[in-house]
Structure 1
Amino acid sequence: MTPKYAAAALSALIAYFAYHAFAGEQGLGRWTDLQQELSEKQAELDAITAANDVLRRDIARLTPGRVDPDLVEIMAREDLNLVYADEIIIINDSSGAAF
């Protein structure tokens, strides 16, 4: 093999590996995409962990023998739409309909 063909073959080999290093399936472009995806998943995990902590605190406050009456009242008002008999209810029409 002449040096001219060896240089061309070596250049082609370097070009092949350089292309796959930057644009290949596991190249630098994919690496930056994975870093972005990782940060999004980390933010999602943090939000889920925070919500889980809130639920754990609520469970601790509802443990038999240590029930927090304020939490029970809040839950009854929000989840069951319960009100006291002497309260006035104002309905806010947020649909934007004109009367």
Structure 2
Amino acid sequence: MLGPAVAVAMLSYFGYHAFNGELGLVGKAAIENQVAELESELAQLKEQRLIMQRRVFLLMPDSLDPDMVDERARASLNLVHPNEVAILRN
């Protein structure tokens, strides 16, 4: 009598955790939601990285863009001409 009762108890325990556990059927939905959130964050970070790479490319000596150099120099030195209007962005 003790053997079948222990077997049923173990089966119930493992069955419960297979369904409701962290890695069970219920937990799978939470993991899938987290994966979707992280993939969207990765896409945003890749886009930001591409934007930064383009800006860095414009400052490289081989492909120096005069407008970019002027913009960075003015931002660093905080200088403008008296007849110019400065619009600052983050």
TM-score scaled to structure 1, two decimals?
Answer: 0.63
Alignment counterpart, residue 59 of structure 2, candidates 28, 41, 62: 62
- Alpha-carbon offset, residue 76 of structure 1: 4.6
Alignment counterpart, residue 30 of structure 2, candidates 19, 30, 33: 33
- Alpha-carbon offset, residue 53 of structure 1: 0.6
Distance 1:35 1:59, change over 3 A: same
Alignment counterpart, residue 48 of structure 2, candidates 46, 51, 55: 51
Residue 25 of structure 1 aligns to a residue whose secondary structure is coil
Choose 1 or 2 for highest CA Rg. 1
More helix by percentage: 2
Distance 1:31 1:64, change over 3 A: same
Question: What are structure 2's unaligned runs of at least 5 residues?
Answer: none
Identity of aligned residues (%): 36
Alignment counterpart, residue 21 of structure 1, candidates 7, 18, 21: 18
C-alpha separation in 2, matches of 1:21 and 1:44: 30
Poorly superposed stretches of 4+, deviation over 6 Å: none
Question: What are structure 1's unaligned runs of at least 5 residues?
Answer: 91-99
Number of equivalenced pairs: 86
Aligned partner of 2:17: which letter?
Answer: H
TM-score scaled to structure 2, two decimals?
Answer: 0.68
Aligned partner of 2:64: which letter?
Answer: V
C-alpha separation in 2, matches of 1:79 and 1:29: 54
